[in-house]
Amino acid sequence: MKQTATESAGLQGAQVGPKTQQRSISAMIAKFRELGLLAFILLLSVGVQLRNPSFLTWENISDIATNTAILSILAVGMMLVIITRGIDLSIGATLALSGMTAALTVSHYPELHPLLAVAVGVGIGLVCGMVLGFLVAWVNILPIIATLGMMNVFRGLTFETSGGKWVSAHQMPASFKAIATGSVFGINNLILIAILIYIVAYYFVSHTRTGRRIYAVGSNPDSAEISGIRTGRILWLVYTIMGGLSGLAGVLWVSKFASAQGDTASGYELSVIAACVLGGVSIAGGVGKISGIVLGSVLLGILNNALPMINVSPFWQMFIQGTIILIAVLVNALVKRGIDRNHLMRRKI
Amino acid sequence: MANSEYVLELKGITKIFPGVKALDDVYFKLKPGEIHALMGENGAGKSTFIKVITGVHSPEEGEMYLNGRKVEFRHPTDAQKAGIAAIYQHVTCYPDLSVTENIFMGHEKIQRGTRRIRWSEMHEEAGSLLKELGASFSPKTLMGALSVAEQQIVEIAKALSVDAKIIIMDEPTAALTKNESEELYRIAERLRDNGASIIFISHRFEDMYRLASKVTVFRDSRYIGTWNVDEISNSDLIIAMVGREISQLFPKKEADIGEELLRLEGLGKTGYFADVSFSLRRGEILGLTGLVGAGRTEVCQTLFGVERFDKGKVFFKGKELKVRSPRDAMEQGIGYLPEDRQKQGLVLQWGIGRNITLPTLSKFANKGMVNSRKELDVAKRLAEKVSVKAKSVFDLASSLSGGNQQKVVFAKLLTAELDVLILDEPTKGVDVGAKSAIYEMISDLACAGYGIILVSSEMPEIIGMCDRVAVMREGRVTAMLDRKGLTQEAILEASMDDTAPNTDGKRWAGA
Amino acid sequence: MEPRLLANKKDFTLKGFFLQWEWLLVVLIMAVFVMNANLSEYFMDYDNLRDATMGFLDKAFIVLPMVFIILMGDIDISVGSTVALSSVIMADLYNHGMPMEMAMVICLAVGTLCGWINGMLIVRFKELSAVIVTLATMIIYRGIAYILLEDQASGKFPKWFKFLAWDYVGSIPFILIAFVVVAVVFWILLHKTTFGRRVYAIGNNATASRYSGVQVDRIKIVVFTLAGLMAAVTAIFLTSRMGSTRPNIATGYELEVIAMVVLGGISTAGGKGRMIGAILAVFLIGFLRYGLGLVNVSAQMLLIILGLLLIFSVAIPQLKQRFATGRKK
């Protein structure tokens, strides 16, 4: 899952003509991004390790991995939304609402099978996403406005359903907490779930018709309409998927931290957006890869874990995150300008 | 099963957009295996007509028959399923996706059962389609990296890939050189020989004579008639398209040619144009022509400060000109009438008056406060001067016809004190009546001492109006013709002939 | 061709006059008054109403430039963070010995700078939308506030400063007078000057505006800078009213401000709407909030209502348009 369909699939396909260097320029920059991210991750790890030897311990690494898992699950959904030129600020609230509902459900019915609790959370998330999708796709509200409004509605609902109280560890049955803490073959469930989602998402975006049409809608909405793609349906689907993933993340979050609060994951959407733009998802739409956002999430996860370890005050975290988003989008924009300029230079006059 | 001698028949089609009748009771018949030219000037309704056939727009009135059976397309996919494919004038592509995906968008090859996209098969087929069309780029190239001509090939490949029975080509030759056009003709003929019917839209006569057996003409959104190509004379066809004889259309008066206003020396902008030099004098109308995409508009936009040039110099009234924005240019005395009046020329949601005064708003203001009395008086005077047909200066620009909108854009130029006017396709999408009014206006402006650069693709317009003509091809000026040497052949030669030694026709190799 | 005579006076129709969005807001405000007066006996009390006004007017200052921003088809979600940053810097400087007057000037300067940075980024990187730029700066500005103050509160302001938000001129709150003055300035700027006209032009068609010699970039920078300045004004009044400041002050203000602007009839597509609508919306939401507070509706419920209000005020014009075109088909 390292390349988009255009590069990976059918490398055995026909190679026509000598103009292959044309392809390699854009492809190289795209590849360079992933390598660059990877190199940066390695450098960062080594640097932190030199300052604090407890960084690269098995325990800490698995801690980073489980934290990154939830972030990257959300980043998959956010990538789809951003590809269609949208944005979703409501996912933190959706996550909280579905996490809270699932937690309340299991605290009332401790016998409930954990999978059913997951289903409850995902179901709530799907409904939230559908509502948003409806507002964006059919009522034609700008994504930023729709998600800003619904963010508050979902957040308010979270407080309302819980009556402002927390659901804490002792109210949750062990089976529920085991969703996130359990493991299969020694690998944490969260990581397995995340990897499963990457694989499914990768297959979806590069090997199915609907998946490719998400890119088409983001790349050129007008011609998507002319070629008969039902743009509204694609938009709706994208926000619904985002909602479903937020719901799932909500259950995992509550199970992992064994507590559900009204302000769970408040502001988390910003980390998710940061992971996406770091991973090369273009805010202008049409561009984004699973491999990119996974690396973006890993980088953010490492940063969040490493900063306290090298004695950076937690109060710096927000500033650092904002700066990362800003620099990442600016760099994306400059790289795009470079590519366009290259195309122009190659034109024969 | 009804059988018919026509694969496609449209009767009494009417399509209304808010404020405009884009098609008014239009007829069309297409026989199997026929190349049928659809002609008309810009804005005659050709593009809307195609979108009706392809299901993008549904008409208010009229019926459509496919092989004698009545059909109603509610959605572009309906038309696709019926075997209709269109190659649009403005290439409709997905710049972030590969060529293969662009070709197969909407009809991807899917594995049965798993619904998996069969990439290798698609790449292979795309590759062979491109090879067949003589293209030399890989199907995995990103669409955004291709030139316009190359993108056009992809559009054609797209139509081929659906195995369409009816193929519509909307101005496919507008941006192509001679060799490339020749290649396109060859492809069109091969498609016809394979049994497809082609609707070929163009306003170039040579396209029609070379290819079509039948021609249908639209004018001002109306159906004018259908003829066999060998039965109608050139002049009759012009009258059908233009509505009157061409000599009546151009009221060019002789203006006094004065001192030099503008001089370009070796102007260049990476990727768009290079080494462009010409000069303009007071009272002169300088034509700037060439194929679509030859760099004409780009040159004008750099003169007006919309874009920057990176090589060469411009002298204006003897001094070197430095403009960073349209506002700079207007302050110095250069005005520009943009090509796309709806997107670049007008605020459609505004009234006529506000549109007219926008460029020189400060003139009607005292310390930043707008004096609406004064503003409205000037707006009224100018709107009347260019004889805009409307009830009041508060009528919305969007409610006007194309011709009247263009008059409003002209009025905007008259508010400022300018010396040079750059008119980019001033008669595009304008009805005949307004057209001759606009020509008269241009001629009067030249007499009044403006220096005018007239950018146009319309041959008669260039020949009828200009004192001198610069012809561009692929970003360079290839000929400078004065009134004596100004013939259709000379312009075509300079704008299309890519067999000249300085180029090698590599862009579309294969022929 | 005979030149036609064009009218240059506008026809006045009574129907057109009353079919304006602003009347709906007036009716809604009256409805809020009637409803609240029925729900609570305290609502119609003059002193209570006056004090309520003082409670919600601080953020109203940001509404004024936000009208310009949304009219241009942009958005600024960093205003809440700008409030926090300028407030925190002001408090910090004062507590490090700077005179309060000077600290207030710096506060205004910081807000202005924040806005200017937004504007510059948006203009220089046109491929990025205002959404993503102000999203990033939203996090950065509040992030700086956290770095400066961590999770502390900062207060101990001089007495006169604390009175800014609570003071009266006669029996009229000072903040109300300040707001009215600033609102009139902004109203004139939008509706009577060349600047305002050009803002409308940009909102309707930025490209055509540029081709008509409107300096789109410069106007955008000015407008975003004004938003920063007004956020700093809000910061002063808010800090004064609260008596102290924290990095998390004014969280969620962007939502409220945008909701007020949109409810005021300013289209998110740009180019349509008037200042008076937004000002009416400020009072509508303010009194609604105050009334609901009196009958003990929870803060969370208010969040939900605010969110829904935002959605509905955007959805209604959209749906109206959709049904209007739908019927034609």
B302 and B240 both lie in a single domain: no
B308 and B363 both lie in a single domain: no
Within an 8 Å CB–CB cutoff, is residue C185 touching chain A?
Answer: no
B358 and B324 both lie in a single domain: no
Residues in chain B: 511
Residue B140 pLDDT exceeds 80: yes
Distance of CA C312 to the CA centre of its chain: 18
B112 and B77 both lie in a single domain: yes
User: What residues in A contact B74, CB-CB < 8 Å?
Assistant: none
Residue C145 pLDDT exceeds 80: yes
For residue A15, the one-letter residue type is Q
Residue B147 pLDDT exceeds 80: no
Q: What digits encode the pLDDT tens for the residues A30-72?
A: 567 788 888 888 988 898 899 888 888 888 898 899 989 999 9
**Number of Cβ within a 10 Å radius of residue C245:** 28
Q: What residue spans define the domains of chain A?
A: 57-266
Pairing between strand B365-366 and B369-370?
Answer: antiparallel
Assembly ipTM: 0.88
**Number of Cβ within a 10 Å radius of residue B295:** 24
Residue B500 pLDDT exceeds 80: no
CB contact under 8 A, A348 and B115: no
- Domain annotation covers residue B12: yes
B73 and B165 both lie in a single domain: yes
Domain final residue, candidates B390, B416, B442: B416
CATH number of residue B61's parent domain: 3.40.50.300
Mean pLDDT taken over chain B: 85
- Position C178 scores a pLDDT of 94
Q: What digits encode the pLDDT tens for the residues A217-228?
A: 999 998 888 777
CA distance B126 to chain C (A): 32
**B506 confidence band (pLDDT: 50, 70, 90):** very low
- Position B245 scores a pLDDT of 61
Q: What digits encode the pLDDT tens for the residues B87-124?
A: 876 667 888 899 999 998 888 888 887 788 889 999 99
**C104 confidence band (pLDDT: 50, 70, 90):** very high
Q: Which of B393, B371, B350, B333 is nearest to C194 (CA)?
A: B371
Domain final residue, candidates B247, B276, B305: B247
B203 and B220 both lie in a single domain: yes
Pull the structure tokens for residue C3.
């030149």
Cβ neighbors of B216 (< 8 A, separation 6 or more) are B28, B36, B37, B38, B39, B223, B225, B226
Given CA atoms C282, C283, C288, C289 in this order, what sign does their dihedral have?
positive
CB contact under 8 A, A19 and B272: no
Pull the structure tokens for residue B102.
């662009």
From the list C8, C200, C208, the residue facing B393 with the nearest CB is C8
- Position B498 scores a pLDDT of 64
Within an 8 Å CB–CB cutoff, is residue B358 touching chain C?
Answer: yes
**Rounded CA separation C109/C104 (Å):** 9
- Domain annotation covers residue B3: no
Cβ neighbors of A87 (< 8 A, separation 6 or more) are A81, A143, A144, A147, A273, C131, C132, C135
Q: What is the count of structural domains for chain B?
A: 3
**B499 confidence band (pLDDT: 50, 70, 90):** low
- Position C247 scores a pLDDT of 93
- Position B247 scores a pLDDT of 59
What is the mean pLDDT of the segment spanning C177-202? Answer: 95
The CA-based diameter of chain A, rounded to the nearest angstrom, is 74
B295 and B242 both lie in a single domain: no
| CATH of the structural domain C43-313, one choice from 3.30.1490, 1.10.3470, 1.25.40, 3.40.50 | 1.10.3470
Do the Cβ atoms of B390 and B400 come closer than 8 Å?
Answer: yes
Q: Which residue of B has its CA nearest to A14?
A: B124
Percent of chain B residues topping a pLDDT of 90:
29
B17 and B109 both lie in a single domain: yes
Hey, what's the torsion of the CAs at B440, B446, B448, B450, to 10 degrees?
Answer: 130
Residue A12 pLDDT exceeds 50: no
Within an 8 Å CB–CB cutoff, is residue B273 touching chain A?
Answer: yes
SS3 C208: helix
Q: Which of A295, A290, A285 is nearest to A332 (CA)?
A: A285
CB contact under 8 A, B94 and A219: yes
Q: Which of B263, B286, B261, B257 is nearest to B447 (CA)?
A: B257
* Chains contacting A (3+ CB pairs below 8 angstroms): B, C
CA distance B349 to chain C (A): 7
- Position B204 scores a pLDDT of 74
Do the Cβ atoms of A322 and C137 come closer than 8 Å?
Answer: yes
Pull the structure tokens for residue A294.
């996974």
CA distance C326 to chain B (A): 12
Measured in degrees and rounded to the nearest 5, phi and psi for residue B60 equal: -70, -40
Mean pLDDT taken over chain A: 86
Residue B27: C-alpha distances to residues B8, B13, B14, B492 (Å) = 11, 7, 10, 32
Pull the structure tokens for residue C268.
């998110």
Burial of B183 (0-12, 13-18, 19+ CB in 10 A): buried
Residue C173 pLDDT exceeds 70: yes
What is the mean pLDDT of the segment spanning B135-142? Answer: 87
What is the mean pLDDT of the segment spanning C63-87? Answer: 96
Q: What digits encode the pLDDT tens for the residues B260-291?
A: 999 999 999 988 899 999 999 999 999 999 88
- Domain annotation covers residue B339: no
- Position B90 scores a pLDDT of 66
Radius of gyration of chain B (CA): 24
Find the domain containing B381 and state its range: 346-416
B407 and B471 both lie in a single domain: no
List all residues of chain B from 183 to 222 with a beta carbon under 8 Å from chain A: none
Instruction: Please indicate whether residue A309 or residue A69 has the higher confidence score (pLDDT).
Output: A69
Given CA atoms C159, C164, C169, C170 in this order, what sign does their dihedral have?
negative
Helices (H), B168-279: 178-193, 205-211, 234-242
Residue B310 pLDDT exceeds 60: yes
Mean pLDDT taken over chain C: 89
Chain A with chain C: Cβ pairs closer than 8 A: 144
- Position C47 scores a pLDDT of 84
For residue B107, the one-letter residue type is H
**Rounded CA separation C256/C262 (Å):** 10
The DSSP code for A251 is H
List all residues of chain A from 202 to 241 with a beta carbon under 8 Å from chain C: none
CB contact under 8 A, A19 and B138: yes
- Domain annotation covers residue B269: yes
- Domain annotation covers residue B63: yes
Residue A10 pLDDT exceeds 50: no
Q: Which of A3-12, B308-317, C50-59, C265-274 has the least mean pLDDT?
A: A3-12
Residue B437 pLDDT exceeds 90: no
Residue C1 pLDDT exceeds 50: no
Residue A133 pLDDT exceeds 60: yes
Q: Which of B267, B354, B264, B360 is nearest to B316 (CA)?
A: B264
What is the mean pLDDT of the segment spanning B337-352? Answer: 90
Q: What digits encode the pLDDT tens for the residues B1-45?
A: 445 788 899 999 998 876 677 888 999 999 988 999 998 877 778
Q: Which of A94-98, B195-199, C222-226 has the least mean pLDDT?
A: B195-199
B167 and B207 both lie in a single domain: yes
